[in-house]
Amino acid sequence: MVRLRFAPSPTGYLHVGGLRTALFSWLYAKQKNGKFILRLEDTDQNRLVKGSENALIRMLKWSGISIDEGPLDGGEFGPYRQSERLHIYNHYVQELINKNLAYRCFCSLERLDSLRNEQRLKGETPRYDKFCRKLSNEQSKKKVESGEMYVIRMKIPEKSEVLILDDIIRGRISIDTSNTEDQVILKSDGFPTYHLAVVVDDYLMKITHVVRGEEWLPSFPKHLLLYRYFGWDSPKFAHLPLILNPDRSKLSKRQMDVAVEDFRDQGYIPEALINFITLLGWSPIEKREIYSLKELVKEFSFKKINKSGAIFDREKLNWMNHKYIQNLDQKDLIKRLSSFSKSKSFKKLNPDFLKKVVQIQQSRLITLNNFFERLPYFVDDNPKTTNSKVLCLLKQKSSKIVLDEFYKQVLSLENLNKENLGIVVKNVQNKTSLNGTDLWLPLRYAITLEVKGPDLNLIVDLFGKEKCLRLVKRAIEI
């Protein structure tokens, strides 16, 4: 059975890159009827951010990613927070020390700093000089007894070798260990570093495929050596290409929103975001763009992930979100708008009125937020506009002629609706001898307050005589 995990560090929000990693793992696990595991890598106590664990889980759930095993869901391979597994790491560190594959290092931070500076000055790559590797067992024990602080480092073989790594996406990669340093695997606070914890946990949790960002590729030799030291088979690895800004730089908060929360809060809907994110670096066989989650589970394949970086194209996301919103049935859209809305006045809206506004707006929405930006126009008795194109046209003399006549005609009517609008406009045309855009644009601009407005018939039907008269009067007075 395949078992894949998502292993974020709870140091902030869920990044869209993280969501993609989680998603690819989840899609594959579901396709193969396997398990998707959430493991929290909280071993760097200085970087923890309160509340981020809950936020990560909330955003995964919002995206539709279900968790089979995890800190809140339990499972037979727990605990699923690394901070609760310290005894396990200690056990394995001891095993490496006993096998003479790891050692205590007592070097002070000052020594390490000056070592690094010296190496930099000489133009060398900074790395640990194995100073404590030479200590005998006796010397090492004595230092411990005298209360000296230490970390544990793994030994990289003295004789460098070329490690062969088979990556599902990149194929065969060879990396020389001569550039790998004796990595710290247990810190002085008793917490493991990522490198030890990830290997131990992936093994103990029976992970079959590790999907992670390509920034972890340089650490790969250390991990492979640890698998070898413990005598374990390693899982399969898929290192995902970077996500890039449109200028091909690494996706960064400075240029773009990167938190999944940001997209949710702007009114992107999870299905669209998931669809979009899956296509970042993964190209399906068919050149289709819109895929439901179910279809993605069926179609997903690691083989179709590109090796090169994937550009985050916001325009495409907008297009996709628009498509998804357009295709929602009305009830569903209203439900989503209502859980998206923070405004109390929205909750108090008359359901029939709301349905009509939704009917008018649905085909024009790019995000759910657009609905609320436009809502005051529908709700206010006297909505205003600052749109200069609208104001400019309404100031023209011919516009005033049309609107004056329209006002007069409507005033004498019992009601104004989509059935009689056509007749009224015909009368205005006959009286003013204006037609085409000279006739329709002033009416459209005065009533919808937009250049490319929604269907005028539907708006007139919703507003009725009184509100339309108010709008037209205001336009005449501009």
Active site residues: 253
Q: Are 27 and 296 in contact (CB under 8 A)?
A: yes
| Residue 186 C-beta: closest distance to ligand GLU, Å | 17
Q: Are 122 and 168 in contact (CB under 8 A)?
A: no
Core vs surface per residue 389-412: b (16+ CB within 10 A) or e: ebeebbeeeebbbbbbbbbebbee
Judged by CB, which is closer to ligand GLU: 43, or 180? Answer: 43
Query: Which element (helix H / strand E) includes 448?
Result: helix 437-448
Comparing CB distances to ligand GLU, the nearer of 41 and 53 is 41
22-to-27, 36, 233, 277, 369 alpha-carbon distances in Å: 9, 9, 23, 11, 26
- C-beta atoms surrounding 88 within 10 Å: 16
Q: How far is the CB of 72 from ligand GLU (least distance, A)?
A: 18
Distances (CA, A) of 457 to 3, 162, 378, 385, 448: 56, 73, 14, 20, 10
Report how far apart the first and last C-alpha atoms of the chain are (Å, whole number). 71
User: Which pair of tokens denotes residue 274?
Assistant: 């998931």
- Number of Cβ within 10 Å of residue 122's Cβ equals 8
Residue among 199 and 317 whose Cβ is closer to ligand GLU: 199
Considering the complex, state which of residue 7 and residue 59 has its C-beta at the smaller distance from ligand GLU: 7
Beta carbon of residue 292, minimum distance to ligand GLU (angstroms, whole number)? 27
Identity of the residue, 8 or 281, whose beta carbon is nearer to ligand GLU in the bound complex: 8
Identify the helix (H) or strand (E) that includes residue 116: helix 109-121
Q: Which residue has the tokens 């695997």?
A: 185
- Alpha-carbon distance of 302 to 216, in angstroms, equals 18
Supply the minimum distance, in Å, between the C-beta of residue 265 and ligand GLU.
Answer: 23
Pick 9 or 399: Cβ nearer ligand GLU? 9
Q: How far is the CB of 203 from ligand GLU (least distance, A)?
A: 13
Query: Token digits for 380?
Result: 């206010």
Cα distances (angstroms) measured from residue 309 to each of 18, 44, 288, 322: 15, 28, 20, 25
* Structure tokens belonging to residue 28: 């594959």
**Where on the chain is the footprint of ligand GLU (CB under 6 A)?**
7-9, 41, 198, 212, 216
Nearest distance in Å: CB 202, ligand GLU: 8
